Structure 1
Amino acid sequence: MSQRFDMFAAGLHYDDLPEEALWTLRRSFLDTMGVAAVGSTTELSDIARRVAPLIFGAGGAGHSQMLMDGRAVSPVGAAMAGAFTVDSIDAHDGTTPCKGHAGSAIFPALIAMAQASAPQISGRRFAEVLATAYELSYRAGLAQHATCADYHTSGAWTAVGVAAAGVKLLGGTAEQIRQAAGIGEYHGPRSQMMRCIDHPTMVRDGVGWGAPSGVTAAYLAMEGFTGAPALTCEGEDAAAFWADLGSGWRLVDHTHYKAYPCCRWAHPSLDSVKEMMRHHNLSHTQIERVEIRTFHYATRLAGHEPANQDEFAYAIAFPVAAMIVRGKVGIEELCAAALRDPDILRVSRTIELIDDPEMTRISTDKRWAQVTLVLNDGRRIQDAARTPRGDADMPLSDAEIRAKFHDLADPVLGAERAQEIAELALQFDGLDNAGFQRLLDLCCLPV
């Protein structure tokens, strides 16, 4: 039976969470912290963390430490800086039906609020709050995409989930949760995603302002500020997306993980060329050109000669070329030297992205692409159309998630600190107050 979203959020207890949901939250905790670690090395993150202490000093709400930084700011400031840090490397978890990402806003925002809360909370309590944020964010995102003409960034709908879950963390009532969701939705950044895809810059997926908007909304609602209704939660057109709340879990069904640090729209092509190059024992010197048939939005990623990490994140051609030349796409392929690699650039310039109406039609809950390699001896090697690994039907294994974390985090944090984060994150919901605080401290110590 359906529940009102505010009653669901207020009443959700740890024992209500299925094991699949807890498994997903543990994986997302580890995955997000790995991305935060390497994200802390980016110029984007450095700017955000320099600005946060200037404009978001700690106040009566308590202080929070910025992820991978250690400096104390307000919960709003830590949410802003942390969200930009995670979003600066496009490798965090996501949800294909919402065309976006939740963890990049949720983890920085709720970790910031948990640090500022008194008394300290347990991992069990944090799991309840995380699950609330994910489930409400996903459903609000589905409703927004179905009812709004423009394609808005993830910051628009994660602000709703963060706001509601933030009130839950602070011990608020169902009515305060309802008001917070309305405040978060109203003030959340309805930024145009395709603008950043057409013109890649540091604004990214909007979570850098969605996370602090949600945190602000939570504190406002706790003081009596009103903002309901949130139309993505209570609007008549949104009702279908909330009908099975309490019985179905979008958190479980819709969360995916990335094997590569770039837009997921490039991933089916990356999986395809990786397999074809190995199966046919090909060298990049044999590639004359590449044809990629995919859906309309993806063709706008292009990115044949990205000049920086932001342009790399929203590209298909260059990451695919890197896979053809190097057999991998990892953090090393984002560095300045790789962006100037003549072999990668040669292949990248040959790649043609073809806007395929059928791919566009079927790319709703999945993202489709079909790749053809044209060799310089005239042969055409065509792969079947495919969707990317990492979705619920083709999940990355626990071992792959853990290996990815260490690949990202170890060079930045050191193996010892990274190992302790991994061990604690994968059992965070079983940690007592002191153990969970230790995990948060590890995630916020300076790099």
Structure 2
Amino acid sequence: MPLRFHDFTAELTYDALPEAVLKVLRRSFTDTMGVAAVGSTTPLADIARKGAQAMFGVTQAGPARILMNGASVSPAGAAMAGAFTVDSIDAHDGTSPCKGHAGSAIFPALMAVADANASLGKPVDGRSFAVTLAAAYEVSYRAGLAQHATCADYHTSGAWTAIGVGAAVAQQLGGSAEQIRQAAGISEYHGPRSQMMRCIDHPTMVRDGVGWGAPSGVTGGYLALFGFTGAPALTCEGPDARQFWEDLGSGWRLVEDTHYKPYPCCRWAHPALDAAADLIATHNLTHDQVAKVEIRTFHNATRLAGHTPTSPDEFAYSIAFPVATMIVRGQVGVSELDTATLTDPDILRLSKATTLIDDDHFTAISVGKRWAEVTLELTDGRRLTADPRTPRGDTDLPLSDADISDKFHLFADPVVGTERATRIEDLSGRFDTLDADSFAELMSLCLSETKVR
């Protein structure tokens, strides 16, 4: 009989975590904090902070500081503002089989609860936080797989991360296995069932749903501890979900499925970005030699259109414009997130000259993978085509430790300063070994106000 998710979450110990699991958690901690740093400078993050302060003041649960801001609100408020902050820059860790992201909800939520607990005299050390993180990721990933397999709509990550967050928060608060079960049921029932393709077709600040999934999970966890009961979570206990939980406790989805993103835009655009970059480098081209671009890819990616984005949200959920940006500038990094990029005439020329081709074969094989093929038509009439490819950052094409570090500093240094960023990288890269005092230092480094506002 499969191990029940609530027993798994209640009984999990640090000594039961394989080194491969800890490596993913350390990487994700560092990577997520870099994204949070640059995300804290966005209009979306600012609005979310104002909303949290207006609607989620400090409560009896204790004050929780907003990620990369320092303002104190309730744990649910800090989870909401923090999740929106991370999600405002589409560069955080993800899971292709679930077509979404977990860390953008999990880290802000669990850090908020840990911060509130510490304020009430219940300090947290790295070992205990690693256990809670591992449970949150594993339950989220499996709930996400079950949801995608059993629901007609393609729901945002907030829909299934709410379940993992709820279960982990109940564990974090000292709940029993039954309270953890109820927390997951509450969080699933009240979590956002937002349809992802609505934001793909009409990109706005709602993003991937984690801004409401994270506080839904936090609320579910606290309510369960107070005795509130929830309908059993179908993604965890439903008969159609059983197959996704059969190896719980022996296999780790978070190790098999976690990917990292080299570029701050939707992952569906990444294989085309890499292909365009390789063609430019291999043939020693300049952007003025490129007349047209063809991107052959899977169906949903073609809905990323975005030939002339007018906002950071439209940029994040586009494919033609980021690929044109790569051809013109040779990178899609922090400087390309500036709104001035949206009016760059060279980028706009190529973006408007880009054709997206809906390819049935790529659609059929883009299950757990995302495929694309790029052809550049040059001004001299030549056509250059790169081999079809999937994104870098998956477990079969992993980013190196140096890649993760470079990305972190690219995002964090301009916002928090090199000294603070270096300390965050050091501590987050070994967070599970930290005692309570050192973990409190890491929390403060990640939660305090940033240098740039």
TM bucket, shorter chain: over 0.9
Report deviation, 1:286.
0.9
Tell me the residue number matched to 1:397: 400
**One-letter amino acid of the counterpart of residue 207, structure 1:** V
1:61 maps onto 2:61 in alignment: yes
Report deviation, 1:377.
1.0
Once residues 5 and 50 of structure 1 are traced to their aligned partners in structure 2, the CA distance between those partners, rounded to angstroms, is 36
Q: Is the 8 A contact 2:189 2:231 kept in 1?
A: no
Once residues 370 and 271 of structure 2 are traced to their aligned partners in structure 1, the CA distance between those partners, rounded to angstroms, is 7
Tell me the residue number matched to 1:301: 304
* RMSD, aligned CA: 0.7
Tell me the residue number matched to 1:13: 13
Question: Secondary structure of 1:374's match?
Answer: strand
Q: Deviations over 1:73-123 (max 9, x none)?
A: 000000000000000000000000000000000000000000111411101
1:242 maps onto 2:242 in alignment: no
Report deviation, 1:384.
1.0
Tell me the residue number matched to 2:78: 78
Q: Is the 8 A contact 1:32 1:103 kept in 2?
A: yes
Tell me the residue number matched to 1:319: 322
Once residues 55 and 347 of structure 1 are traced to their aligned partners in structure 2, the CA distance between those partners, rounded to angstroms, is 44
Once residues 446 and 270 of structure 1 are traced to their aligned partners in structure 2, the CA distance between those partners, rounded to angstroms, is 34
1:32 maps onto 2:35 in alignment: no
Q: Deviations over 1:390-430 (max 9, x none)?
A: 00111100111011000000000011111110100001000
Q: Is the 8 A contact 1:94 1:255 kept in 2?
A: yes
Identity %: 69
Question: Secondary structure of 1:291's match?
Answer: strand
Report deviation, 1:442.
0.5
Q: Deviations over 1:13-51 (max 9, x none)?
A: 011111011000000000000000000000000001011
Tell me the residue number matched to 2:199: 196
1:407 alignment partner, one of 405, 410, 413: 410
Once residues 136 and 444 of structure 1 are traced to their aligned partners in structure 2, the CA distance between those partners, rounded to angstroms, is 25
Once residues 165 and 42 of structure 1 are traced to their aligned partners in structure 2, the CA distance between those partners, rounded to angstroms, is 29
Tell me the residue number matched to 1:109: 109
Report deviation, 1:246.
0.7
1:145 maps onto 2:148 in alignment: yes
Tell me the residue number matched to 2:381: 378
Report deviation, 1:2.
2.7
Tell me the residue number matched to 2:368: 365
Question: Secondary structure of 2:34's match?
Answer: helix
Runs of 5+ in structure 2 lacking a partner? none
**One-letter amino acid of the counterpart of residue 383, structure 2:** R
Once residues 111 and 336 of structure 1 are traced to their aligned partners in structure 2, the CA distance between those partners, rounded to angstroms, is 31
**Alignment length (residue pairs):** 447
Q: Is the 8 A contact 1:178 1:228 kept in 2?
A: no
1:272 maps onto 2:275 in alignment: yes
1:134 maps onto 2:142 in alignment: no
Q: Deviations over 1:276-317 (max 9, x none)?
A: 100110111111101111000000001011111100000000
Once residues 16 and 376 of structure 2 are traced to their aligned partners in structure 1, the CA distance between those partners, rounded to angstroms, is 49
1:284 maps onto 2:292 in alignment: no
Q: Is the 8 A contact 2:293 2:376 kept in 1?
A: yes
Q: Is the 8 A contact 1:161 1:214 kept in 2?
A: yes
Question: Secondary structure of 1:29's match?
Answer: helix
Which 4+ runs in 1 deviate beyond 6 A?
none
Tell me the residue number matched to 2:264: 261
Q: Is the 8 A contact 2:205 2:313 kept in 1?
A: yes
Tell me the residue number matched to 2:442: 439
Tell me the residue number matched to 1:41: 41
Q: Deviations over 1:338-383 (max 9, x none)?
A: 1111001101111100000100000011000011111111111111
Once residues 10 and 400 of structure 1 are traced to their aligned partners in structure 2, the CA distance between those partners, rounded to angstroms, is 35
Question: Secondary structure of 1:182's match?
Answer: helix
Q: Is the 8 A contact 1:312 1:318 kept in 2?
A: yes
Question: Secondary structure of 2:41's match?
Answer: coil
Question: Secondary structure of 1:290's match?
Answer: strand
**One-letter amino acid of the counterpart of residue 3, structure 2:** Q
Once residues 14 and 431 of structure 1 are traced to their aligned partners in structure 2, the CA distance between those partners, rounded to angstroms, is 13
Report deviation, 1:53.
1.2
Once residues 322 and 204 of structure 1 are traced to their aligned partners in structure 2, the CA distance between those partners, rounded to angstroms, is 22
2:174 alignment partner, one of 155, 171, 177: 171
Once residues 54 and 344 of structure 2 are traced to their aligned partners in structure 1, the CA distance between those partners, rounded to angstroms, is 38
Once residues 383 and 323 of structure 2 are traced to their aligned partners in structure 1, the CA distance between those partners, rounded to angstroms, is 17
Runs of 5+ in structure 1 lacking a partner? none
Q: Is the 8 A contact 1:32 1:104 kept in 2?
A: yes
Tell me the residue number matched to 2:351: 348
How do 1:91-102 residues align onto structure 2 when only pairs under 5 Å count? 91-102=91-102
Once residues 134 and 177 of structure 1 are traced to their aligned partners in structure 2, the CA distance between those partners, rounded to angstroms, is 15
Once residues 339 and 330 of structure 1 are traced to their aligned partners in structure 2, the CA distance between those partners, rounded to angstroms, is 14
Q: Is the 8 A contact 2:297 2:371 kept in 1?
A: yes
Report deviation, 1:194.
0.5
1:425 alignment partner, one of 428, 433, 440: 428
Q: Is the 8 A contact 1:35 1:92 kept in 2?
A: yes
Q: Is the 8 A contact 2:277 2:326 kept in 1?
A: yes
1:159 alignment partner, one of 162, 168, 184: 162
Question: Secondary structure of 1:338's match?
Answer: helix
Once residues 416 and 382 of structure 1 are traced to their aligned partners in structure 2, the CA distance between those partners, rounded to angstroms, is 44
**One-letter amino acid of the counterpart of residue 52, structure 1:** A
Question: Secondary structure of 1:353's match?
Answer: strand
Q: Deviations over 1:126-147 (max 9, x none)?
A: 0000000000000000000000
Question: Secondary structure of 1:293's match?
Answer: strand
Tell me the residue number matched to 2:4: 4
Question: Secondary structure of 1:322's match?
Answer: helix
Once residues 248 and 31 of structure 1 are traced to their aligned partners in structure 2, the CA distance between those partners, rounded to angstroms, is 24
Q: Is the 8 A contact 1:180 1:228 kept in 2?
A: no
